[in-house]
Chain A
Amino acid sequence: MKALLFLLEKEFRQVFRNPAILRILFILPVIQLLLLPLAADYEVKNVKICVVDYDRSPASQRLVHKITSTAYFKLVDFTDSYAKALQYVEYDKADLILQIPAAFEKNLVRENTSTLFIAINAVNGVKANLGGAYLRSVIQDFNQELQTELIQLPRQNLHPVISIASSNWYNPLMSYRLFMVPGIQVLLITIVGAFLSAINIVNEKETGTLEQINVTPIRKYQFVLGKLIPFWVLGLVVLTIGLFISWLIYDIVPVGSLVTIYVFSALYLIAVLGLGLLVSTFASTQQQSMLISLFLMMIFILLGGLFTSIESMPPWAQAFTRFNPISYFIDVMRMVVLKGSTLYDIRDHLFKILLFGLALNSLAIWNYRKRS
């Protein structure tokens, strides 16, 4: 065990002497947590709309005014030519075209009905979808206003209106940041746990010091522990920095207990450290380990439920996310930070991450043995 202490001492010395690792440890969390939640955002704002008004009536004016007074839409042009509007779309200057037909108001008053036409630029699917939906809800709103105004008599409404009152649980303001920040913390911990550790071990292979270690009486498990413990500690340090930043900048205080977060993180780190160890057994140069890591990271992140909801993925992708440790951690972080889930509530996740830890580490050790 004394040998392990010397290994740990050496490892920590090297980490704190390596400017690249220090940057990743202390600057990366700050930058990611500052930039990503502010910029990478699902809320669609500034949808560029072009209105083609063939009616030019008070009613159409009112509708246009109602649309442009929301923060979501930016009026590009107000024109009377559909062709011109389409040109805006072609040059990507407009996302939406709202066409108001001639006699829009007249039909409304006389026949109690009228039609509007919306054309959507669907190159960016998310923006098109949400922009169209926003516009529809604004128009619906306008529709109801008109009904109450125009149909004075009889007082009882001809069309039964079901109005929906919703309340958003756990994230009442539907703040996107509240949803993103805990997820980004997961990424940070994963980077430290899985990939810094892999690069570090492979570095020893590359420089030849690993061979020197192999002729000393150090046992393999001691060497592995000497590598994993420092990154386990550093992962928890990064978690702490992340929690501090999210409190400082975003005022996010986990509803649940910090103990729950740390217990899960500690187990999660064991699992991803196993992944790092596994990568290091495959790679013989730092470049290789970096590329393998990048590849795994891309898949894990994109299919991890950070940016897109897992429930809306196709069945095969959903099946895959069951083998993605990141998705469990993102889930847990959101549960604990937003809902205040307890250790008991996340017992399923705890159990699964424990299995991951066992499986990945056994696999790594097995492959390590086979290759030596």
Chain B
Amino acid sequence: MKVISVRNLTKRFGSFTAVDNITFDIEQGEIFGFLGANGAGKTTAMRMLCGLSRPTSGEASVAGYDLYKNANRIKENIGYMSQKFSLYEDLTIRENIRFYGGIYGLSLSDIRSKTNLLVKKLKLEDSINSLVKSLPLGWKQKLALSVAMIHDPKIVFLDEPTGGVDPITRREFWTLIFEAADRGTTVFVTTHYMDEAEYCNRVAIMVDGQVEALDTTGVLKAKYAAKDMGEVFLQLARKAKRGDG
């Protein structure tokens, strides 16, 4: 079953075409990696699918809803976590979970059981009543991911979620992603880390706003005669005309 279906999606800012006519489908339960150099258009593409930015043209449906007609139904069915930390630092862990649970329409008893489950899993029982700003970055990111999935969304969008996080925490973070995928959640993730690209079921590589390659990591490596995803990426990204940013 396709949970995301994109046809000729384009976003222009003035004369600059950030996302140029991209087309792809994503199956339910997939971990879909979105790679690209800075400025290749990954974040813009993701923001359109989340309803944060209006496409200039093209069509897309997310979680079975049309991007233009049912934006709010889409929002009920997706989770989103950006590289910019998005929990409230001046609220405690418990209060953050309660707030996001509440605005996704969870009942109070659901919020309570989710809170217990979540802090137990992240081993944050002792700091549940401390302010989020007092947590180390890695913990914050894991917490942010769990909170972004508090309402069991069909799809979760992760925009460079592991930026600035140490390798151990990154591993733990990916464990959370695998668990979500096992539960049937589709994961759409952008990343710069090539080892993370290897964890994905399928990978799309964006160059200058276009999807230059899209397949499983195995097929891509064979096609470009590369020993790892890093080499694949370099071969494709070298063609880019756009500079950094």
Contact = CB atoms under 8 A, between A and B. Distances in A.
A145 B96 CA distance: 80
Contacts of B87: 209, 212
A354 to B, nearest CB: 31
Interface in B53-96: 72, 75-76, 78-80, 82, 84-91, 95
A240 to B, nearest CB: 26
A359 B122 CA distance: 49
Contacts of B89: 207
A176 B72 CA distance: 57
B129 to A, nearest CB: 13
A152 B72 CA distance: 97
A303 B80 CA distance: 47
A215 B156 CA distance: 11
Given A6-B102, A211-B86, A13 B91 contact: yes
A138 interface: no
A84 interface: no
Contact of B103 (A13, A14, A211, A216): A216
Contact of A215 (B75, B85, B95, B99): B75
B86 A212 contact: yes
A363 to B, nearest CB: 22
B95 A217 contact: no
Contact of B50 (A209, A215, A217): A215
Nearest to A226: B103
A13 B95 CA distance: 9
Nearest to A18: B90
A215 B149 CA distance: 12
Interface string A1-16: 0110111011001100
The bracket for how many chain B residues form the interface is 20 to 34
Contact of B82 (A7, A208, A217, A219): A208
Interface centre among B51, B75, B79, B103 (most CB of A within 10 A): B103
Contacts of B91: 10, 13-14, 17
A61 interface: no
Interface of A is mostly: helix
A214 interface: yes
Contacts of A14: 88, 90-91
B14 to A, nearest CB: 15
The bracket for how many chain A residues form the interface is 20 to 34
A68 B103 CA distance: 73
A218 interface: yes
Interface centre among A7, A212, A218 (most CB of B within 10 A): A212
A10 B86 contact: no
Interface in A184-200: none
Interface in A1-51: 2-3, 5-7, 9-10, 13-14, 17-18
Nearest to A209: B86
Contact of A211 (B52, B90, B98, B99): B52
Contacts of B76: 217
Contacts of B90: 14, 17-18
Contacts of B50: 215
Nearest to A208: B84
B104 interface: yes
B51 A218 contact: no
B72 A209 contact: no
Interface of A: 2-3, 5-7, 9-10, 13-14, 17-18, 207-209, 211-219
Interface of B: 50-52, 72, 75-76, 78-80, 82, 84-91, 95, 98-100, 102-105, 157
21 contacts: A3-B102, A5-B102, A7-B103, A10-B88, A10-B91, A10-B95, A10-B99, A14-B91, A17-B91, A18-B90, A207-B85, A208-B82, A208-B85, A209-B86, A209-B88, A212-B86, A215-B75, A217-B75, A217-B76, A217-B103, A217-B104
